[in-house]
Amino acid sequence: MHAMLMGALAGAGLAVLLYYFEYSAINRSAAERAKRQHVRKVEMDGSERARLKNLLWFCILLPAIGAGLGWLLG
């Protein structure tokens, strides 16, 4: 397999895992906060939404970074 393709696939896999675990951690934190405040509806606040948005942009760029690293190392 070509080194750039392997780097891009590894970056994409890492991006999916990173986003999933961060989303689940933020969602768990929001659920705990809602339970503490005795609120039924679980909502993320603005800083958590911004954190996920910034992480999404990084995850979109991660396969390209992985492809570049694969090209350099391959």
DSSP for 10-57?
A: HHHHHHHHHHHHHHHHHHHHHHHHHHHTT-SS----HHHHHHHHHHHH
Tell the residue number behind the tokens 């391959």, with chain if given.
74
Domain span at residue 49 reads 3-73
How many Cα neighbours within 13 Å face the side chain of 29?
A: 11
pLDDT of residue 41 exceeding 90: no
Q: What is the pTM of this model?
A: 0.86
Go through 17-50 and write b for each residue having 16 or more CB atoms within 10 A of its CB, e for each that does not. eebeebbeebeeeeeeeeeeeeeeeeebeeebee
Share of the chain above pLDDT 70, in %: 100
The total number of structural domains that make up the chain: 1
